[in-house]
Structure 1
Amino acid sequence: MGTLVAGANAALTGENPGLTSVLVGLGWDVIPSRGPASELVPLTLLCGADGRVLSDAHLVFFNQIASPEASVTFQGDDDTEQIDVDLSRVPDAVSKIVFAVYADPEMRGPGTFAAVRSAYIRVARPDGRELVRFDLPAANRDTITAMMFGELYRHRTDWKFRALGQGYTTGLRGLAADFGFDL
């Protein structure tokens, strides 16, 4: 399927019959500095048809590494972060799974994506063979404190991937407000 641009989507299960699980890899480089560096934290949100997280239990991150039914789990580290998604176990109430990253202000002070380079999200088969990739465009990210990299979403009976690259200047608070979860 290849490399996507922001806003583009790709059919995953429609073009790959029998595909029941995928590996989602997130990656980035941070330019080293002598001052405090941003601590980037991946966050996966399982959302209903209204675009809101089903419950706080449907947030997958470092303190909660699996969704309640274990359809979404943080796993390997061949990329900066890897998330396994068992599409066959995702509850019917989930219409999309959003993959975001935020700069944790509690780790090293308020951080941004200013020093982040080569950020990407990729979707691969469980064996690692890449199906689709989105390299986030280089941009001025001096005020960006959270970013949605991409999402898996249901389209009729199939699963698709959409490249997003949408930044937030309001960090985790902005994600919480948009997706309806508690901090």
Structure 2
Amino acid sequence: MATMVAGANAALTAENPGLSSVVVALGWEQIESRGPQAELVPLTVLCGSDGKALSNEHLVFFNQLVSEDGSVEFVDSGDAEEIDVDLSGVPAEVAKIVFIVYVDPELRGPGTFASIRSAFIRIATPAGVELVRFTVSAADNRSINAMIFGELYRHRDEWKFRALGQGYTTGLAGVAADFRIDF
């Protein structure tokens, strides 16, 4: 297992011949509160070569648990959230798959990542062998209300993972604008 830093890349399929699917796990530890707490919501966006969502149908989240083509799917697991990705089944027009977590704007609560500690994204084989892990920085999250944890992307004929930890202070609206999504 390799521990990554923000901006680092890992060659998943080149370094693991025969790897055709991965498990992407997102997790976090939240400081308990006696009052309302922020609820984090994962969102996966399948993007074209321009870095934008191919369409609103190319999202995987709580209302759409499986991508239109069936290659990306949320499943129930021991991690906070788990997304199974069939790399060999991802359509050719998908250049990258972005993993985002945002604070649910519909719930009462702090509305930021301020109470979140030890957030991570990890990539593992379907058998559970962890390939890479990125621990997202918890520094100064008081104004962050959405964050890109990382992305899987194509490089030539191979799949790579990039650790990001890019925060948004504009929440879901900022994510929607960047990825050309209509909510």
TM range (shorter): over 0.9
Which residue is 1:83 aligned to? Answer: 83
Which SS does the other structure have where 1:138 is aligned? coil
For the residues of structure 2 that align with 1:127 and 1:20, how far apart are their CA atoms?
A: 12
For residue 15 of structure 1, what is the aligned residue in structure 2? 15
Aligned counterpart, 2:57: 57
Inter-partner Cα distance in structure 2 for 1:42 and 1:20: 23
What is residue 103 of structure 1 aligned with on the other side? 103
Q: Is the 8 A contact 1:103 1:110 kept in 2?
A: no
Q: CA deviation at 1:137?
A: 1.7
Distance in 1, matches of 2:138 and 2:61, equals: 25
Q: Distance in 1 between matches of 2:79 and 2:106?
A: 24
Q: Which amino acid aligns with 2:23?
A: L
Q: Which residue of 2 aligns with 1:125?
A: 125
Q: Are the counterparts in 2 of residues 42 and 61 from structure 1 also a CA contact under 8 Å? A: yes
Among all aligned residue pairs of Structure 1 and Structure 2, give the percentage whose two residues are the same amino acid.
68
CA-CA distance at 1:77 after TM superposition: 1.7
* Aligned positions of 1:33-182 closer than 5 A: 33-109=33-109, 111-182=111-182
What are structure 2's unaligned runs of at least 5 residues?
A: none
- Partner secondary structure for residue 172 of structure 1: helix
CA contact (8 A) 1:71 1:87 kept: yes
Structure 2 length-normalised TM: 0.98
**Comparing 5-14 and 31-40, the one that deviates more:** 31-40
Whole-angstrom distance in 2 between the partners of 1:40 and 1:34: 17
**SS, match of residue 57 in structure 1:** coil
Partner-residue secondary structure (3-state), 2:173: helix
- Could you tell me which amino acid in structure 1 is paired with residue 65 of structure 2? I
Runs in 1 of length 4+ with deviation above 2 angstroms?
Answer: 107-110
Larger displacement relative to structure 2 (6-15 or 27-36): 27-36
TM-score, length-scaled by structure 1: 0.98
Residue identity opposite 1:51 in structure 2: G
The answer on whether the counterparts of 1:104 and 1:110 sit within 8 Å (CA) in structure 2 is no
Q: CA RMSD in A?
A: 0.9
Unaligned regions of 5+ residues in structure 1, if any?
A: none
Count, aligned residues: 183
Find the residue that maps to 1:176 and give its secondary structure. helix
